Structure 1
Amino acid sequence: MIQKWRSFSQPVVNLVARSQALKKIIISAGWLAVERIFRMVISFFVGIAIARYLGPEQYGQLNYAQSFVALFSSIAALGLDGIVVRNIVRQPSRKDEIMGSAFVLKMFGSLFTITLTIALIMLVRPEDRHMQWMVALVSLGLLLQSFDTIDYWFQSQVNAKVKVYAYALSFFLVSMGKVVMIVLHAPLIAFAYAGLAEAVIIAAGLLTGYRLYGHSIRNWRVSLTCALEMLKDSWPLILSSLAILIYMRVDQIMIGEMAGDHELGVYSVAVRLGEMWYFVPIAIVSSTYPSIVRAKETSEELFYERLQQLYDVMAFIGYLVAIVTTCFASVLVSLFGREYAAAVPLLLCYIWIGLFVNLGVARTSFLNTMNYTRLQFVTSLMGCLANVALNVLLIPRYGAMGATVASLFSYWLQTHGSCCFFPALHRTGAMQTKAILVPFRLKQILSQLHIRSKGEYL
């Protein structure tokens, strides 16, 4: 048994030992994973307490407000994250100019988004003052997210420590605050204030960490030329991110409007359980993206080799989480209380969306590196339109289950199915198909890993 374990593990050990870059990626991904696991554990139990305390109807109202703001949050972000990281990696000497310009762009984007969101909720629910206040409070957090620009620099350095500290501390403090609010029987609006407080603490943490690393935002410079260059690359990403968020969150808005807040509360439990592990693909892609960019500059062969490895890892994680969640779905939902029992069949279907979410997150590395931002927008729009159309058809008849089926199909279409329609995406689509078949390729992958560990890892 020991000999078998050594023969299995030694290729992995040798591979890591031969690549300092790979070590850095693993360390950075590890930091992000620790922070996200910490958040996931606390969020899981605090989320259960909040859901039990509020009940399906009020819990549905809270998720409605959060989803309504999330629909337009991509406008505030301006699709700059991948663009800024890519530009800093390629032109480190222009760091202060790139970051200063990105910060100002995000500030203006946030102000516009806040105004738009408040105006729209007043049109959608003109008589519901309580929901209007909740949406306004949640949207104010977008302004503070402009300081996420600092995190882009740390991503370019494959350094996740500061982000981990800032996010973990803020999340812990706010989570404890929510527990206190439950004990004190706080009203629903208090939980919207808690979200705003979390954004304040995160911004303060990022500023402190940036300063500790010997940098200051006072050195940032705003360049109109640089800002226009980034907007030229990012405007399709703004639209594609908007489309993605629409088909990620519009189902909750439509359930709330077409089936009621109670149905939305039940559906929100399935969504929370189905999405609580999405930090894993985001952490992996955030840590590997700089190496993907450098691989493209080295050779096409290395670039596509690393992309296939990324797709394979993402697919494997998707299958693993889906199978485990399927086995324990009833137990997980029961923790929220009997009122949410109808979420079990929803979760059994919703959890498989994660496979295509993983592949979609990985595909952004390919699209950003190749600067295929317009294709990203078009494919996202395809998924968005399909989701909205299916929601209109299915929610009135099947309620939350109809929204779940619509989401599953639209995620597949946006990530994998759309690759069939564009020649530039044929190769990456074939790579995704190969990754989807990863359960049948495990023996082959381990064999290749063993062979590579005996040679030089580029």
Structure 2
Amino acid sequence: MSAFARARSPDVAKALANIMWLGLERLTQIAVAIVISGLLARYFGPDVFGKWQYANTLLLVLSPITWVCGAEILVPTIVKRAPGEVGTVLGSAFVLRMAVSVLALAATWGWIAAGHTDPLVGAMLAGLAVTMLFREPFVGVINAWLQSMTYSKPQLLASMATAVLKAALVFALVRAAAEPSRFGWLWALEAAAIGAALVLYYMRRHGGRLGWQFDGALFRHFASAGTVFWLGLICMYLFLKLDRLMLERHISFADLGRYSAAQQLNENWITLALMLAQTIAPAFVYRVQDAALLRRNITRLVAMTAALMIGGAIVLDLLAGFIISRVFGPDYEGAIEIFRWAVWLSVPAGIEAIGNLVVLKYQAKFVLLGKWLLALAVAFAVNSFAIPHMGSYGALAGLAAGYLAAAAVNFYYIRFRVRA
């Protein structure tokens, strides 16, 4: 079949449309996140904004606990089952995820009530944590069904619409001079709205009925399958947020707010590397069976990603003062130098994302787990030494060391798994 004919095939057209919607959704989320961060940073001030960012860090560390039975398990199960069995698959996954989410929320609220964190951080986290009841049980389960059809448009549209609405509500609360503790509930409302929209869409596609059923055997299978991937994702997110968790013990919340402001912009920039990896993975990695061609593709993709990240980092470094002052205001001048250094983390992060595609291609779950355990251990060791001596810059050193360790594992695996 010619390249032109392949490009016109329904499956390829559907996949390209899905990628376009995914890219649009990610860009919308990045833009909304920057707008909201700027609003809250100016309204809260560095000290309260630092507490807000720390509450979000705690949420992002807790959320992966609810990712049991991930898409790598659920989507293939849906594809293999007959259409009449999809309701049983989704119902069993929903019960498992809801049970884990309820336990995680209860534990979080209990931890807050026991006074293990700053009172305002706890009040913010109490609302943010409610998102766990909606994200994976409702949004995650139905999104897996949509992924099985290569049709994520409904979920992406709901996500974009609610993100814009959330930004409008944040602006309204800022104008109304609302208490900082109330803002977290907007994130819970957003998650609930996306979940409700997807449930209604699913019911519309199934004659107005949800039709989910529970199956004990599937429940037990989902509870055990994918455990290694699940633990790997938990380690990965803990690594990504370890800098803020450890900095909180050594610097003020105001300084943590400035560090988090710089890192939030930088993480949005790094997201572009992940978007690039997701976009090119099917054609240049996942569908390639020839080992020599795969190695060449990976080499070229690493070079292209490194060039893109270096070029972008140079531009962001030069514009750091302008970007920070425009987004966050004059109280965050201390974030400028941190941002200048942080943007260079995009280089090892982007290279790691490309190498990780091969790990995912071959479903090397123990490599994934081992990689992020190593990155976490390396970052913890570097942070323990560097943060007391270098403060925020020590945390950046820990992240850089962790990314390099993860990338080294990827390339070691590629060297021995993909032989030309």
TM range (shorter): 0.7 to 0.9
Residue ranges of structure 2 left out of the alignment (5+ in a row): none
Match of 1:130 in 2: 120
Tell me if the contact between 2:15 and 2:150 (Cα under 8 Å) persists in the aligned partners.
yes
What is the Cα deviation at residue 133 of structure 1?
2.4
Match of 1:334 in 2: 325
Residue ranges of structure 1 left out of the alignment (5+ in a row): 1-12, 432-458
Tell me if 1:409 matches 2:398. no
Tell me if the contact between 1:292 and 1:306 (Cα under 8 Å) persists in the aligned partners.
no
In structure 2, relative to structure 1, the CA distance for the partners of 1:334 and 1:373 (3 Å cut) is same
Match of 2:20 in 1: 30
Tell me if 1:426 matches 2:415. yes
Distance in structure 2 (CA, Å) of the matches to 1:215 and 1:234:
32
What is the Cα deviation at residue 185 of structure 1?
1.1
In structure 2, relative to structure 1, the CA distance for the partners of 1:397 and 1:293 (3 Å cut) is closer
Tell me if 1:178 matches 2:165. no
Tell me if the contact between 1:150 and 1:206 (Cα under 8 Å) persists in the aligned partners.
yes
Distance in structure 2 (CA, Å) of the matches to 1:281 and 1:88:
29
What is the Cα deviation at residue 348 of structure 1?
2.1
Tell me if 1:196 matches 2:185. no
1:383 aligned to 342, 359, 375, which one? 375
In structure 2, relative to structure 1, the CA distance for the partners of 1:313 and 1:111 (3 Å cut) is farther
Tell me if 1:142 matches 2:152. no
Tell me if the contact between 2:126 and 2:184 (Cα under 8 Å) persists in the aligned partners.
no
What is the Cα deviation at residue 386 of structure 1?
1.3
Tell me if the contact between 1:89 and 1:290 (Cα under 8 Å) persists in the aligned partners.
no
Tell me if the contact between 2:90 and 2:141 (Cα under 8 Å) persists in the aligned partners.
yes
In structure 2, relative to structure 1, the CA distance for the partners of 1:249 and 1:413 (3 Å cut) is same
Distance in structure 2 (CA, Å) of the matches to 1:42 and 1:123:
34
2:346 aligned to 345, 349, 354, which one? 354
Match of 1:168 in 2: 160
| Residue correspondence of structure 1 range 283-294 to structure 2 within 5 A | 283=275
Taking structure 2 as the reference length, the TM-score comes to 0.86
Code of the aligned partner of 1:325: L
* Deviation digits for residues 385-426 of structure 1 (CA, Å, limit 9, x no counterpart): 111222221111111111111112102212x112366xx543
In structure 2, relative to structure 1, the CA distance for the partners of 1:124 and 1:383 (3 Å cut) is farther
Tell me if 1:53 matches 2:40. no
Aligned residues: 413
Match of 1:98 in 2: 89
What is the Cα deviation at residue 51 of structure 1?
0.6
Tell me if the contact between 2:352 and 2:410 (Cα under 8 Å) persists in the aligned partners.
no
1:246 aligned to 228, 238, 242, which one? 238
Tell me if the contact between 2:78 and 2:148 (Cα under 8 Å) persists in the aligned partners.
yes
Match of 1:222 in 2: 214
Match of 2:255 in 1: 263
Match of 1:83 in 2: 73
What is the Cα deviation at residue 269 of structure 1?
1.0
Distance in structure 1 (CA, Å) of the matches to 2:218 and 2:257:
44
* Deviation digits for residues 322-349 of structure 1 (CA, Å, limit 9, x no counterpart): 3432232221111112221222222222
Match of 1:43 in 2: 33
What is the Cα deviation at residue 200 of structure 1?
1.2
* Deviation digits for residues 1-22 of structure 1 (CA, Å, limit 9, x no counterpart): xxxxxxxxxxxx9597466544
Code of the aligned partner of 1:249: K
Distance in structure 1 (CA, Å) of the matches to 2:277 and 2:74:
15
Tell me if 1:109 matches 2:100. yes
What is the Cα deviation at residue 167 of structure 1?
0.5
Distance in structure 2 (CA, Å) of the matches to 1:244 and 1:28:
26
Code of the aligned partner of 1:185: A
